[in-house]
Structure 1
Amino acid sequence: MSNTYTIRTMTRAEVDLAVDWAAQEGWNPGLEDAQCYYQADPDGFLVGVLDDEPIAVISAVKYDDTFGFIGFYIVKPEYRGQGFGLKIWQAAMARLDRCNIGLDGVVEQQENYKKSGFTLAYSNRRYQGSSQMLAVRGTTEMTDLNALPHKTIERFLEPFFPVQRTRFWHAWQAQSNAMSTGLLIGGELQGVGVIRQCREGYKIGPLFAQNAQQAEAIIGALSSKVECDCAVYLDVPACNSSAVGLAEKLNMTPVFDTARMYTQMAPDIGIDKTFGVTSFEIG
């Protein structure tokens, strides 16, 4: 054994490995997350290999020259505390040099992220409910997003992310284990939601709406598409009191929080109309 540690770009198959590790950490990824995330930036996933063994992973998705997002920061338990994680972290940060970098980190690691230049913007909170309890059927204003032109959806999504991410969104909307809905009022798109099957239950994300009443209708419509009585998860910006209030009104239970942090000023991404975060892994 030469104990040679190298960091390189993942192959597409290795992104599946990163998602498997995330599942082992209890992050409950979606069944098709790897394919969708890979579309966001095929070069944005790094693996640390000790001799021939992958022991560390991280994603450093670069959306453009101004914004990137770090996720999937995992070192195999038996190799932690030996500097391997720090090296792959530094490689990820170098890849996103000069970008405003975002992440959703474990709350307990905030101080470590601050040492790398991150500042807390707000917390996100995962809530859990039951599809049967959340389901509301027969909302006439809802339409399948696949029936709408891509440009219509992209225009609606623009205020909710710092940059346009067309390839990722097309993949996200097209997942075979996901369903989407849009809220049309007077022929205008007012809200968007996607629910996808995960290792355990389903997650709703994103969920964007003009107010809590609209968001509740979208949650009901999406939950009604789930055939089993399964767990449904919703990741809510804790600083959006309307979103938190809605989750509590629906008797959803808080599971855990993450710390949304950035290296530069927090982007204006319509948090007041964000009732469900798209992804903790890539923003």
Structure 2
Amino acid sequence: MAPIVSVRPCTVEEASEYFFKWPRDEQWNPGNQGHDLNQVYYNLDPQSFFVGTIAGDGGAETVVSIVAVVRYGKDSAFVGFYIVAPEHRGKGYGLTVFQHALNHVEDRPCVGLDAVMEQVHNYKKSGFTIVSWENERRTGSADVIVERLSSFETLEGKMIKNACDVPIGELYRLEEKYNGWNRPVFVSEWIKFHSNNAKYGRFSVAVMEEGKVLGYGCVRPAITSFRVGPLFAQSPDVAKAILYKLAKLATEALAQPDSDITPSVKPVFDIDIPIVNPQVVALFDELDMPNTFTTLRMWKGRKPEVDTDGIFAIATCEVG
């Protein structure tokens, strides 16, 4: 008989140990050196990062499963980082920690996750029966993006700026329009994290016209590539201008002699796109960026109302 699993919130040290290293070992390509986890994700809701543990020989505690369910406002939450240690799979340890997470947000009418396709049937059993769209992780050369989108270095009548230099309220507006949530703390911290620091390879770009933000995007190094997200834009041209600038900044950052980007990071962009938007699919097909990984955005309760026409990339698979 398998030992009984106990579930508790993790410490900040455990977050670095398990919520970074386990996704890395699963080849999920998490943020470079766990910076996004330590500086943004965990601080959003520390009491919602859970570890499942069992008592080993002599009573020593062993972590066997993890999950996070970050809460936004009073209505929403997003599940991520759901992993069971390979040597402990098939014993029910995952279901226990997952159910604990759902109980933690049982008062929320809108709970989402991005499901790997082989687990979709299991999530349906847990009540995730509503689907927004399928995400495809499109992967391609940042140098090719710079070359092919060079004509979008400027946009007539529009300003291309650092996203940290535009009115933050405009970014809150786009977040609610395209993601369906009011989560100002995440947006503020995400922009601060991507504060255009070449040493760390993190950048954010926005396009403005007459004081209004038409779109913005962020890029950060992961383990083997750069991950882009979100990329919100009112038109494909605005998205192309943002993508061009992000690719140019990222490739230049890799060439910096004082870079803090680990050598494993290559000039490659990974972008999780909702294929419900045909304009998005067409853009990345034109850039010869194939699908390398598929997830399904699923909901328990109800899904948020969003304008999918402007979603060119989701923010994250980990915290929505």
Q: TM-score range by the shorter chain?
A: over 0.9
Deviations 1:218-256 (A, max 9, x none): 111110001246111111001111111111011111101
What is the Cα deviation at residue 96 of structure 1? 1.2
Asked if residue 11 in structure 1 is aligned to residue 11 in structure 2, the reply is yes
Q: Name the residue aligned to 2:46.
A: 42
Q: Contact 2:73/2:183 (CA < 8 Å) preserved in 1?
A: no
Q: Which runs of 4+ in 1 moved over 4 A?
A: none
What is the Cα deviation at residue 200 of structure 1? 1.3
Q: With structure 2 as the length reference, what TM-score do the two structures score?
A: 0.84
Q: With structure 1 as the length reference, what TM-score do the two structures score?
A: 0.94
Letter in 2 for 1:139: T
Aligned Cα root-mean-square deviation (Å): 1.7
Q: Contact 1:124/1:260 (CA < 8 Å) preserved in 2?
A: yes
Q: Describe the SS at the equivalent of 2:46.
A: coil
Which of 88, 91, 106 is matched with 2:100 structurally? 91
Deviations 1:27-52 (A, max 9, x none): 11112221211132121110011221
- Identical aligned pairs, as a percentage? 32
Q: Name the residue aligned to 2:58.
A: none
Q: Name the residue aligned to 2:115.
A: 105
Deviations 1:108-141 (A, max 9, x none): 1111111111123321110001111112564362
Task: State how far apart, in whole Å, the 2-side matches of 1:212 and 1:27 are.
Answer: 28
Asked if residue 199 in structure 1 is aligned to residue 237 in structure 2, the reply is no
In structure 1, the gaps of 5 or more residues are none
Q: Describe the SS at the equivalent of 2:319.
A: coil
What is the Cα deviation at residue 186 of structure 1? 3.0
Asked if residue 117 in structure 1 is aligned to residue 135 in structure 2, the reply is no
Q: Describe the SS at the equivalent of 2:133.
A: strand
Task: State how far apart, in whole Å, the 2-side matches of 1:276 and 1:152 are.
Answer: 18
In structure 2, the gaps of 5 or more residues are 56-60, 255-265
Q: Name the residue aligned to 1:134.
A: 145
Asked if residue 236 in structure 1 is aligned to residue 240 in structure 2, the reply is no
Letter in 2 for 1:109: Q
- The answer to which structure has the higher helix fraction is 2
What is the Cα deviation at residue 182 of structure 1? 0.3
> Counterparts in 2 of 1:1-283, with a 5 A limit?
3=3, 5-16=5-16, 17-31=18-32, 32-35=35-38, 36-51=40-55, 52-99=61-108, 100-119=110-129, 120-135=131-146, 136=149, 138-139=153-154, 141-175=159-193, 177=200, 178-226=202-250, 227=252, 228=254, 230-283=267-320
